[in-house]
Homo-oligomer: A and B are copies of this chain.
Amino acid sequence: MTPDTFKDLVTLSREEMYREFYRRHRHRIKIKKEHVAVGNLMRISEATLTLSNQKGFSAMSMRDLSSASGLSIGALYSYFSSKDELLDMIQQESLQLATRVLDSSIAGIDDPQRKLRRAISAHLHLSEIMHPWFFFSYMETKNLKKDARRNAIDIELRMENVFAEIIAEGQRSGIFRDVCRSLTAAMIKALLQDWYLKRWKHSRREVTVESYAAFVVEVVESYLLTRSATEGQET
């Protein structure tokens, strides 16, 4: 998957994405004209992400959000009924989108090694495009209310499990060594998360998504591939 085709896959939806967002949360939103609601949801979400990622969601006041989004405080409350609900909506949306895109990115691939590479690359590219969402989701999870937090953790574990499953397939077909699947999957997740959590560091060093993806694949494969497979791999 080249970055461009991937970017197309996701960006064509930016307009669409907020329409989906609106539809999924229609029941809590007072505004009924779709095109109005979608446009404002966009402004609200983007302002929330920017402000929260700078100083944290709970330190962002409604006044801040009002002036950054261009809507009055009163208007904001037509889109959610409390600040906590806003947190919830954004969190849910980002998790849903991530799982949906990832699942579809590996659908129909059989070869475990290709599948693993694809999953890594897709996750990195997605987090690149959706950077503010991923960062927000990670940092604010612990500030969610109990139920929502449990849900977020569930989804995170399910995503990690996608990697564990791929590794299991590779082990069954004999191309991956017999290492601990859950630790290896956790390691991959940690490396993927580091990309969006420490983006300033990587971009200061002029590391691109592609080169980072290549690096992660190299590390993971040097650990996972059986010796014979490794030798078959090399230049």
Contacts and interface: CB of A to CB of B under 8 A. Distances in A.
B194 A142 contact: no
A143 interface: yes
Interface string A52-74: 01111011000000000000000
Interface in A141-169: 142-143, 157
A9 interface: no
A101 interface: no
A119 B26 CA distance: 52
| Binding site secondary structure of chain A | helix
A219 B143 contact: no
A1 interface: no
A213 to B, nearest CB: 12
Interface in A190-209: 190-191, 193-194, 198, 201-202, 205, 207
Contact of A142 (B55, B142, B180, B182): B55
A198 B201 CA distance: 21
Given A54-B142, A223-B219, A223-B222, A186 B182 contact: no
Interface string A181-192: 011001101110
A180 B55 CA distance: 33
Given A54-B142, A142-B54, A190-B194, A215 B183 contact: yes
A219 B187 contact: yes
Interface string A204-235: 01010000100100110011000000000000
Nearest to A200: B153
A187 B190 CA distance: 9
B56 A143 contact: yes
Given A139-B139, A190-B190, 12 more contacts: A53-B142, A55-B58, A56-B142, A56-B143, A183-B207, A186-B194, A187-B215, A189-B194, A190-B194, A190-B198, A191-B191, A218-B223
